[in-house]
Structure 1
Amino acid sequence: MNDDQDRSALEHADDRILAGRAADGDAAAFAVLVRRYAPMMRAYARRILPGTAELDDVVQEACIAAWEQLDTIEHPDRVKSWLMRITSRKAIDRIRSIRPCSDIETLEISVSASSDPPRRAEANAGLAALAEALNQLPESQRQCWVLREIGEYSYDEIAEELGLSTATVRGQLARARKHIIVRMEEWR
């Protein structure tokens, strides 16, 4: 098999095979995983980080950490979620290192481009109000909310990620939701 055929076979291989080969030191297999999931990792980090300046650094750090930890992956067929957890940890580490507040103003607004200007303006104002409500939350509540509502983490995953008990996560989320509901009342 020539190099082009080998590359093509790798591009079409499933995650389990790629992760197994990468864990054995195959840099080409790891490169396929990076090409496959880096855009998703970047989008996910964008949902967590307060701005876009740090995105590429966080994804690069996540890829380096993944390469170094490949031999620890327990379920190679779940490499996507494993990479997303690493990305999440790196993004949260970055938030902790830069400032104690998350900004959600970088979220994409789910209003179609064909919507009329008043509808887009209303959506922008609503997003700005949500960003302000989130910025008023204590950091722990904000992190729990972002991981749950944007990252779609389970309570147990959030607890593991932030080093909290599941009961604490539930409490933090309840307080965060209550705060957001009160602040967003006019947007109902």
Structure 2
Amino acid sequence: MREQSARGRDEQLPSPLEQADDGIVAGRAADGDVAAFSVIVRRYTPMMRASTRRILNGSAEVDDVVQEAFVTAWQRLPELEDPRKLRSWLMRIVGRKALDRLRASRPQVSTADIDHPAPAHAAPSRVAETRAGVDALDAALQRLTDAERECWVLREVGGYSYDEIGEAMDVPVTTVRGLLARARKHIIVRMEEWR
């Protein structure tokens, strides 16, 4: 009886690998240790799923994106310079995969192609003014650098926090602030006549 209860306790205790910090587990996984990589998968799947679900708005593709991220991580794990930064590295990979999936699933439409209906009581001049304003915003966005435009869209359209934008774009929050400041300044100058 004692032998069975002792065996039951041993089965419940986490293995030393399960208790090891990210640096050790990532280092062993980078050397090809499948058991260590399994620990990484168990440790970070819930967080990666939650982040992906937020980006994809609860899409059914969440598990596919997380799985793709782990495949990429397994292939690129030897390239990870600082194994202690495993968490942020994994979150960048899954964030990029989710954003790629989001971009691929959305039709690419220019704001110039969208017919913005005006209220029935609006005069034709008001409709023309609205369309011209949208065209001006589209032109202002096109003159931004790719990084500024992506940062502005993630913040103003996607509602991302500065930290989330930094993770998605793989840049520090200070860079996010700078990109947004330049983008906003450019748009304000370009849209001055529409205020």
TM-score normalised per structure 2: 0.57
Answer whether contact 2:155 2:165 (CA < 8 A) is retained.
no
* Corresponding residue number in structure 2 for 1:37: 44
Matched, 1:54 2:66: no
Match of 1:143 in 2: 154
1:58 offset after TM fit, Å? Answer: 0.5
Q: In structure 1, what is the equivalent of residue 19 of structure 2?
A: 12
User: Quick one: structure 1 residues 90 and 76, their matched pair in 2 at CA, closer, same or farther if it must change by over 3 Å?
Assistant: same
Distance 2:72 2:62 in 1: 15
User: Is 1:147–1:153's contact at 8 Å kept on the other side of the alignment?
Assistant: no
Deviates more, 1:22-31 or 1:138-147: 138-147
Pair 93,11 (structure 1): closer, same or farther in 2 beyond 3 Å: same
Contact 1:47 1:150 in 2 (8 A): no
Rg comparison, structure with higher value:
2
Q: Which has the higher contact order (CA 8 A, sep 6+)?
A: 1
* Runs of 5+ unmatched residues, structure 1: 102-136, 177-188
Residue pair 2:30, 2:78 contacting (<8 A) in 1 also = yes
Which residue number corresponds to residue 98 of structure 1?
105
User: Contact 1:22 / 1:30 at 8 angstroms: preserved in 2?
Assistant: yes
Q: Which residue type is aligned with residue 11 of structure 1?
A: E
Counterpart of 2:75, as a letter, is E
Q: Which runs of 5+ in 2 are unaligned?
A: 1-10, 109-137, 142-148, 188-195
Is the 1:144–1:158 Cα contact (8 Å) retained in structure 2? no
After superposition, the C-alpha distances for 1:19-55 in whole angstroms (9 at most, x for unaligned) are: 0000000011011011001100000111111342110
Instruction: Give the TM-score of the pair, scaled to structure 1.
Output: 0.58
Identity of aligned residues (%): 48
For these two proteins, the number of residue pairs brought into alignment is 134
Give the Cα separation in 1 of the matches to 2:86 and 2:76: 12
Tell me how large the CA RMSD over aligned residues is.
Answer: 3.5
